[in-house]
Amino acid sequence: MSHLVSITIDGRKIEIPAGWTILKAAKKIGINIPTLCYHPDLEVNGICRICVVEIKGNPALECACSTTVEEGMQILTHTKRVLNARKMNLELILSSHPTDCLKCIKNGNCELQDLAEQLGVRDVRFPNETKQEHKDNTSIALNIDPEKCIACERCVYICNEIQQVGALAMLERGSKVYAGANPNLFYSPCVKCGQCVSYCPTGAIYEEEHTGEVWEALEDSEKIVVSQIAPSVRVALGEEFGLPPGASVTKKIYTALRLLGVNYVFDTNFGADLTIIEEASEFVKRYRKEKNRLPLITSCCPAWVDYLEKFCPEFIDNFSSAKSPHQMLGVMVKTYWAQKMNIPKEKLFMLSIMPCTAKKYEILRCYDMFASGVQDVDITITTREFARLLKQAGIDLVNLPESEADVPLGIYSGAGLIFGATGGVMEAALRSAYEFISGKELSKVDFKSVRGLKGVKEAEIELDGEKIRVAVAHGLGNVKYVLDRVKEGKKKNKLAYHFIEVMACPGGCVGGGGQPYGGLEIREKRAKALYEEDKELPIRQSHKNPYIQQLYKEYLGKPLEGKAHKLLHTRYYKRPLYGGDEFSCPYKDKLKVTKG
């Protein structure tokens, strides 16, 4: 434990642990020091110098985000000299930034805009010289606008250090420097996770917008619009309407979708229950008959699928062939449900609302996303896009009455719900796999050892008299440790793990690249809300969902076989790191790619 040091901030004496930064110490006593490049989840770089403070005895101003406290330090945070320096530094940033805020996707949610208001900057004393580089719109999911980059390097850090993908770098020099992909996103290792978007303080990196296509579908009298919402959307959307992080608005969302004009409202959680039946059955099959194909690795995260195909294709045989929940629900809507309702599948428009930017790529990625004969999910929008859609429609989410999802594809178990948090897929699978293998009722369905925000979680689960070793990794930078353990085990003819879950985004889907902006602390609150809701549900295991049972009885037959295998499973391919979205696909002409 660090020893305490005594310092003075704005005349207030405090004792704090040695090693704390001035920024952290000031925050502890309620003093707000403005920041821009700083983010609590990321490494400190002190580039923007917005957080400068005076330290008695030091001739120069120091950055509060990177300067650690020392015994007897006397700090002034809001003197005239400090305020003038902050304004000057902000004006220098604004001098190379466009002023088209009204047209920017981050308007009203921009840290640079907020800071200009906070510091009272009404004019910029320097000539405006914005960067002239063209936008990078070569990705299916993401766009880069170099003009709006303030060179804070947040996106570069998250991409290279935390995700360890290496798609982004600081390009050009001097006043023209910006974060981008060389030569563009298409010809980069980008896996479309969107974490760069989550941490960008301005509109320099943003998701591909698809709200226009949703409006067109809603206004088309020939289309029947069917919707689904992902597990984590319900505990994040409320933030866009002033509710606290983790506030669950599930049943208000159902009402909102109907007010928008959606004809049928289903829930991705049903698809998650379906995924668990197939994935848990796949694990049981390998555990009993194909131990040489263990560990089984989860496959419901599209950014992780993209990463695996590009970075570690030697593990393709270990990947679960089960599709992601929203794809499973999409194909069930276009086949099983369409037949029950006697609706031509061509008339159906499947809208999915996801926490994820990579889902925009997933709906087109290969043969099996068209298993119904048409595109199984027509459009996917992020939680942020959905919030914009509701605001455009004048829908006040907070004050809406609650309603229920439509039967049968809107009824779900607690296992389907917890998919939204890191460890949730593993726990949901174990809740079913335990009973599939042992034939015994599971007395306690909570597997708390796989919960939480630790980067890699390892646990041993007692299953049919044997210890099952599992690992859960979230944030792609943590995957290497897990896969290295598997490789080491193979060399020694030992099995490091039986089952592995990977989610590309830190925190899992609650921290997806399409969620309302917020760091790990907010993601933790969202995850907690999912587990609390799971506890209250009458059914907490996927295989006990009566509508899942009905689906297999009426239509799918046995898991992993026949119709279930054809419609609910997919394939993976080794793809190149650069330009890896250009693969053999009969629907290749649908891919939105512009090669630079």
Q: What is the pLDDT of residues 283-307, one digit of tens each?
A: 999 999 999 899 999 999 999 999 9
With vertex at residue 561, the alpha carbon angle to CA 464 and CA 285, rounded to the nearest 5 degrees, is 20
Read off the pLDDT of each residue in 72-83 and give the average, rounded to a whole number: 95
* Sign of the alpha-carbon dihedral angle for 340, 345, 348, 351: positive
Q: Are 516 and 237 in contact (CB under 8 A)?
A: yes
For 376-410, how does the pLDDT look when each residue is reduced to its tens digit (9 = 90+)? 999 999 999 999 999 999 999 999 999 999 999 99
Token digits of residue 372: 């119904």
Q: What is the pLDDT of residue 295?
A: 95
CB 173 within 8 A of CB 96: no
- The model's pTM is 0.93
Number of Cβ within 10 Å of residue 222's Cβ equals 8
Pairing of strands 62-63, 74-76: unpaired
SS3 15: strand
Average pLDDT of the residues of the chain: 92
Cβ atoms of 349 and 224 within 8 Å: the answer is yes
Rg of the chain taking only CA atoms, in angstroms: 25
What residue ranges do the domains of the chain occupy? Answer: 4-78, 101-207, 209-596
> Is the pLDDT assigned to residue 63 strictly greater than 90?
yes
Average pLDDT over residues 262-289: 96
Q: How many residues does the chain have?
A: 596
Q: Looking at 415-573, which runs of residues are DSSP E strands?
A: 456-463, 466-474, 499-503
Cα distances from 244 to residues 25, 236, 525, in angstroms, run 25, 9, 9
528-558 pLDDT, tens per residue? 999 999 999 999 999 999 999 999 999 999 9
Question: What are the backbone angles phi and psi of residue 279, rounded to the nearest 5°?
Answer: -70, -45
- The pLDDT tens digits of the residues spanning 316-351 come to 999 999 999 999 999 999 999 999 999 999 999 999
pLDDT band at 372; cut points 50, 70, 90: confident
Mean pLDDT for the stretch of residues 226-249? 96
- CATH architecture designation of domain 101-207: 2-Layer Sandwich (3.30)
pLDDT of residue 582: 53
Question: 194 near 304, Cβ under 8 Å?
Answer: no
Band (580; pLDDT cuts 50, 70, 90): low
Tokens 């509060």: give the residue.
64
CATH topology of domain 209-596: Rossmann fold (3.40.50)
Give the separation between CA 371 and CA 565, rounded to whole angstroms: 11
Which pLDDT tens digit goes with each residue over 189-202? 999 999 999 999 99
Residue 256's Cβ-side half-sphere holds a number of Cα atoms within 13 Å equal to 27
Closest by CA position to 262, among listed 223, 314, 320: 223
The neighbouring-strand residues paired with 179 are 170
Asked whether 585 and 442 are in contact (CB, 8 A), the reply is no
Question: Which H, E and C letters describe 575-587, residue by residue?
Answer: CCCCCCCCCCCCC
Task: Using pLDDT thresholds of 50, 70 and 90, give the confidence band for residue 591.
Answer: very low
Q: What is the pLDDT of residue 589?
A: 54
Virtual torsion, Cα 294, 191, 425, 375, nearest 10 deg: -100
Closest CA to 455 of 425, 482, 428: 482
| 63 beta partners | 52
Residues 6+ apart with CB under 8 A from 441: 435
356-369 tens-digit pLDDT? 999 999 998 765 66
Note the pLDDT of residue 587: 44
Task: Give the highest mean pLDDT range of 90-99, 116-125, 205-214.
Answer: 205-214
For residues 539, 542, 543 and 547, what is the CA-based torsion angle, rounded to 10 degrees?
A: 80
Question: Rounded to a whole number, what is the largest CA-CA distance in the chain?
Answer: 80
In this prediction, residues 581-587 reach a mean pLDDT of 49
Would you state the structure tokens that stand for residue 373, as one six-digit string? 């004969």
Q: What are the pLDDT digits (tens) for 121-175?
A: 988 888 777 766 678 999 999 999 999 999 999 999 999 999 999 999 999 888 7
Q: Are 505 and 430 in contact (CB under 8 A)?
A: no
545 token code pair: 């969902």
Nearest to 64 by CA among 34, 30, 92: 34
> Topology of 4-78 in CATH?
Ubiquitin-like (UB roll) (3.10.20)
Which tokens is 171 given?
Answer: 């390009």
pLDDT tier, 1 (very low <50, low <70, confident <90, very high otherwise) = low
Closest CA to 146 of 156, 128, 131: 131
The reported pLDDT for the residue numbered 231 is 96
Predicted local confidence at residue 367, as pLDDT: 54
